[in-house]
Amino acid sequence: MKKLSRHYKKIKIAYIKVAMTAIFIAILFFPNYQKLESTGDNIFTVYLNGAQMGVTDDPKRAESCLIAARKRLAASSDELVLADGEMNCEGAEVLWGLLDDDSVIISNMTAELRKSVKETLNRSYTMKINEYTVNLASTEEVLALLQASINKYDTKHEYYVDLVLDGNRELNVLTTQIYSTTEQQEQEEAAKEVMASAGINEELDKMLADVEPDVEKDFSDYELGLQMLGFGDTVEVVESYLQNYELTSLEQAIEEVTKEQEKEQIYEVVSGDTLSQIAEKNEIPLEKLIAMNETIEDENSLIRVGDELIVTVPEPELSVERTEEVYYEEDYEADIIYKDNDEWYTTQTKTLQEPSAGHRKVVADVSYRNNEEVGREILKEEITYEAVPKIVERGTKIPPTYIKPISGGRQSSGFGRRKAPTKGASTYHKGIDWATPVGTAVMASSAGTVAKAGWGSGYGYVVYINHGDGRQTRYGHLSKILVKPGQTVSQGQKIALSGNTGVSTGPHVHFEILINGVQVNPLNYLN
């Protein structure tokens, strides 16, 4: 039994020696097989897109390896390379572990990324105009697109577009600069003349220029045609890297940028405008104009000077502004001459002289935005025969206002035709009735002079007041009159008490406004 125990001890000792020898050999011949500290997960298997890439002792080293692999892949192409790479690490806690060298992991990752390369990205250029963007393959295509926008108006090809750095931006953003070939040639010739006239010749030229008198230009001295051309919108161009399917062909881009499309704008109503005129002026159907503006119910809706309406106008994505110098002959109207009359109200006018058109020759700078004229400056004008101005005498006094003649009350009858009037009353009601108790104070609707105060057929007790603007107000069915004919009254002054006299079915006040002797609806004039 003792012999057997000794035998087992010898075997155990031999096993330990063999194990120690094996560990020693492993450390000697496999340097990546390392003893690791026991601090939780201390060895990590790295996976990229689900494939095992190697083993490391720190996830941060794995991230560094992925960055290095992407750089290696990018260096293999002159363009930007796009590749999917989803990395994750699975940790474990061990005493000894075999770690892969970083170079092995980087090589494995590079090979895996190469499998997932989507497509090489192309160096491209993105052009932005307001909210519109388009991607083009090169700066040559960008310039061709911009040139196509101005060639529509520059038929003689006197202007060309170039791209320059935008000095107002911190980043490398390009914008547009339009040059005139004529101006460039003139500058070059001027520079040559300066060189040629150096020294004494230059001084003589200055002296002659100082004494040369200013001579008015004749019509033939003007160089008619395109004078200025530029873009009406800000253009921004930046370099970008895109895939082929994200690029727009030059032909399609020119179509999109230069084709006129309907865009919403604000139109301010001016004196004399009607809805139909506004629709015609902006070349849109009246029904569409009404549908676009919530404040307009139908074609009869009231509009006032200064109102702002939404309209659509045809405009391209990139607007072009230009100035053309033109010669033309036209009949013209002279400005109206007004003579103020401080005794008249502003509603009163009288034509003292009828107008007659004149004729003139003109050279003018006409400014356009696309095809719409936005300004005109006359440079030279020669009158063939003078226009005769219209002379109008007009009042300066503000016309009186009109107020409701009683406080409160219930409207019991409106203005106009009625079906079943009181016996003896007209079927066409010429005023407004307010039901109110007998004895309610009745006030002058506007300042004026009492023309009548007494009994009137059908009206009962009635007061007529004449006003300075040629109008008259009437107050009927009164119970008591407090003023006399010829008396001057102020607006709001008590002139009577309400009643139920004359042809009346109950206590109320009947009120009329007459213009040129004809009754009108008082509700259209009361403030």
Is 205 inside any structural domain? no
One domain for residues 190 and 73: no
Mean pLDDT of the residues in the chain = 85
pLDDT bucket at 201, cuts 50 / 70 / 90:
low
pLDDT at position 4 is 46
Using one digit for the tens of pLDDT, what is the confidence trace for 89-111? 999 888 877 899 999 999 999 99
Nearest to 440 by CA among 489, 506, 520, 522: 506
> What is the rounded CA–CA span in Å between residue 458 and residue 451?
18
What are the C-alpha distances in Å from 69 to residues 81, 83, 106, 241, 475?
12, 11, 5, 20, 99
One domain for residues 449 and 507: yes
> What is the rounded CA–CA span in Å between residue 455 and residue 457?
7
Is 419 inside any structural domain? yes
Whether pLDDT at 147 is above 70: yes
Which one is predicted more confidently, 209 or 476? Answer: 476
Q: How many domains does the chain have?
A: 6
% of the chain beyond a pLDDT of 70: 84
pLDDT at position 422 is 56
Q: Which of 94, 115, 136 is the last residue of a domain?
A: 115
Using one digit for the tens of pLDDT, what is the confidence trace for 231-278? 999 999 999 888 888 899 999 999 999 988 777 788 888 888 888 888
Contact call for residues 378 and 362 (beta carbons, < 8 A) = yes
Whether pLDDT at 212 is above 60: no
Q: Which of 74, 91, 115 is the last residue of a domain?
A: 115
pLDDT at position 347 is 76
Whole domain around residue 432: which residue ranges?
410-524
Overall average pLDDT of the 29-43 stretch: 64
What are the C-alpha distances in Å from 428 to residues 173, 431, 473, 508?
75, 9, 18, 18
pLDDT at position 296 is 86
pLDDT at position 319 is 92
> What is the rounded CA–CA span in Å between residue 209 and residue 177?
33
Using one digit for the tens of pLDDT, what is the confidence trace for 299-334? 888 888 888 888 877 789 999 999 999 999 999 999
Is 59 inside any structural domain? yes
Q: Domain with 375 in it: what CATH number? A: 2.20.230.10
> What is the rounded CA–CA span in Å between residue 196 and residue 188?
13
> What is the rounded CA–CA span in Å between residue 27 and residue 349?
116
One domain for residues 430 and 328: no
One domain for residues 418 and 520: yes
pTM of the model: 0.51
Q: Domain with 296 in it: what CATH number? A: 3.10.350.10
One domain for residues 75 and 135: no
Is 206 inside any structural domain? no
One domain for residues 268 and 297: yes
Is 515 inside any structural domain? yes
Using one digit for the tens of pLDDT, what is the confidence trace for 395-420? 988 777 899 999 888 998 888 876 65
One domain for residues 108 and 134: no
Which one is predicted more confidently, 28 or 363? Answer: 363
One domain for residues 243 and 138: yes
One domain for residues 225 and 134: yes
Which one is predicted more confidently, 146 or 81? Answer: 146
Is 212 inside any structural domain? no
One domain for residues 90 and 6: no
Is 204 inside any structural domain? no
Whether pLDDT at 29 is above 50: no
One domain for residues 75 and 129: no
Using one digit for the tens of pLDDT, what is the confidence trace for 456-468? 888 999 999 999 7
Q: Which of 97, 115, 133 is the last residue of a domain?
A: 115
One domain for residues 162 and 255: yes
Is 214 inside any structural domain? no
